[in-house]
């Protein structure tokens, strides 16, 4: 539900837009509002073959291959930050386009809310901007926004007393991810649905790569921090997990229970993993200790980022030749973090982006064949016989 503050901003923006059109867009701050600039990320590329999937399908599969750009962090002085996405404006009314990078080409189609300066909440000191597009999605926040903080941290440490500006209403869960990478949660401050006037704002863009992934070192760092969390937890069972989508709003697998039953036949003891009610530590322990992680394609399996030495089996609609979802971040993160991964397809070529099913016998045949591959000898040793 929109807050009264947002409604006021929408009405004000509508009136101003009717007379003045869209705000002027700039990619650098005016001189009066421009401070220091730092290059916080250099261009790079990464390639890693998926040997297991190539062996399973009997032919070379497309390797994980992506690039990422250079990124600059800007010090902005006396600026206005609007709404939960933290859209940045200067006192002369200009809109700062790096705050929507890499989507500047869609600027004409995007909703840009103008600031209402006389209603602004003032924040002194140094703020690091950590909101933007998709900030409310836990996968995007962890994989893309946290990377902004990681590239900027060497510079931020020079400021000492900086704080981290996050979207209003999201600090409660975002603090968990920031704590994971060693950030004291006392640094976190929530923005506003309206206008915030920042004395000094440090901004680094969403500078992920061509595959919507950041440099692999970021994910290895998060994985290693997760390993520290897992070591501090009490000992417990190390069973395979099936990451359910039964409580997801869409893209559910309608015959999931039948697939879980087959997985138990072939893998032995298996836990069905639901995110509801789980702390971040709970999630880390389950994913790090599981020798096999199965589940339908979706945000949940991206937690394989926490794992090391495990097998990720992603279930997806389509065929190997015609995928419904052209990219699986779960598979990519699994490979980056030292796991093995394979995607099993339901064999239906239609464009199914709603709820879908996976033929039970096809799943049984594919999983059985997968588990016989010599590449999975170490994983088989970790399984409890059915």
Helices (H), 236-320: 256-267, 280-289
- The pLDDT tens digits of the residues spanning 45-78 come to 999 999 999 999 998 887 889 999 999 999 999 9
| Tokens describing residue 6 | 């947002």
- The pLDDT tens digits of the residues spanning 335-385 come to 999 999 999 999 987 665 688 999 999 999 999 999 999 999 999 998 876
Residue 121: predicted pLDDT: 95
Residue 195: predicted pLDDT: 96
Please, which pLDDT band fits residue 334 given cuts at 50, 70 and 90? very high
- How many Å apart are CA 228 and CA 179, to the nearest integer? 12
Residue 327: predicted pLDDT: 60
pTM of this prediction? 0.93
- How many Å apart are CA 101 and CA 96, to the nearest integer? 10
Buried-state track 66-92, b at ≥16 Cβ within 10 A, e below 16: bebbebbbbbbbebbbbbbbbbbbbee
Residue 351: predicted pLDDT: 62
Q: Provide mean pLDDT across the span 300-312.
A: 95
Residue 180 has pLDDT above 80, yes or no: yes
- How many Å apart are CA 57 and CA 66, to the nearest integer? 23
The helices-and-strands tally (H runs, E runs) of the chain is: 11, 16
Residue 262 has pLDDT above 90, yes or no: yes
Q: Do the Cβ atoms of 177 and 55 come closer than 8 Å?
A: no
Residue 335: predicted pLDDT: 95
Task: Output the average pLDDT for the chain.
Answer: 92
Q: Do the Cβ atoms of 336 and 351 come closer than 8 Å?
A: no
């Amino acid at each position: 539900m929109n807050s009264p503050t947002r409604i006021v901003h929408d009405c004000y923006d509508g009136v101003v837009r009717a007379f003045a059109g869209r705000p002027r867009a700039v990619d650098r701050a005016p001189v009066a509002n421009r401070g220091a600039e730092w290059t916080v990320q250099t261009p790079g590329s990464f390639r890693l073959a998926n040997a297991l999937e190539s062996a399973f399908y009997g032919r070379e599969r497309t390797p994980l291959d992506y690039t990422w750009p250079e990124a600059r962090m800007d010090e902005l002085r006396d600026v206005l930050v609007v709404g939960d996405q933290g859209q940045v404006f200067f006192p002369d009314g200009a809109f700062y386009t790096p705050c929507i990078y890499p989507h500047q080409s869609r600027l004409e189609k995007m909703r840009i809310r103008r600031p209402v300066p006389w209603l602004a909440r003032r924040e002194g000191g140094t703020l690091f901007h950590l909101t933007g597009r998709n900030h409310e999605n836990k996968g995007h926040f962890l994989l893309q926004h946290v990377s902004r903080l990681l590239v900027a941290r060497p510079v931020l440490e020079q400021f000492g007393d900086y704080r981290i500006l996050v979207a209003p209403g999201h600090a409660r869960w975002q603090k968990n991810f920031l704590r994971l990478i060693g950030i004291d949660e006392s640094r976190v401050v929530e923005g506003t649905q309206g206008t915030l006037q920042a004395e000094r704002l440090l901004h680094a863009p969403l500078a992920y790569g061509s595959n919507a992934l950041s440099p692999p070192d970021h994910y290895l760092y998060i994985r290693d921090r997760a390993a520290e969390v897992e070591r501090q937890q009490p000992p417990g069972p190390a069973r395979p997990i099936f990451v359910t989508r039964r409580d997801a709003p869409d893209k559910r697998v309608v015959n999931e229970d039948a697939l879980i039953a087959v997985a138990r036949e072939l893998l032995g003891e298996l836990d069905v993993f639901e995110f509801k009610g789980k702390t971040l530590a709970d999630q880390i322990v389950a994913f790090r200790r599981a020798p096999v992680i199965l589940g339908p394609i979706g945000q949940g399996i991206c937690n394989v980022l926490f794992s090391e030495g495990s097998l990720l089996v992603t279930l997806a609609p389509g065929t190997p030749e015609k995928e419904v979802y052209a990219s699986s971040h779960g598979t990519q993160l699994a490979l980056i973090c030292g796991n093995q991964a394979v995607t099993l397809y339901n064999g239906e070529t239609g464009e199914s982006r709603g709820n879908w099913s996976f033929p039970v016998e096809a799943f049984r045949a594919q999983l059985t064949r997968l588990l016989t591959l010599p590449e999975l000898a170490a994983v088989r040793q970790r399984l409890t016989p059915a």
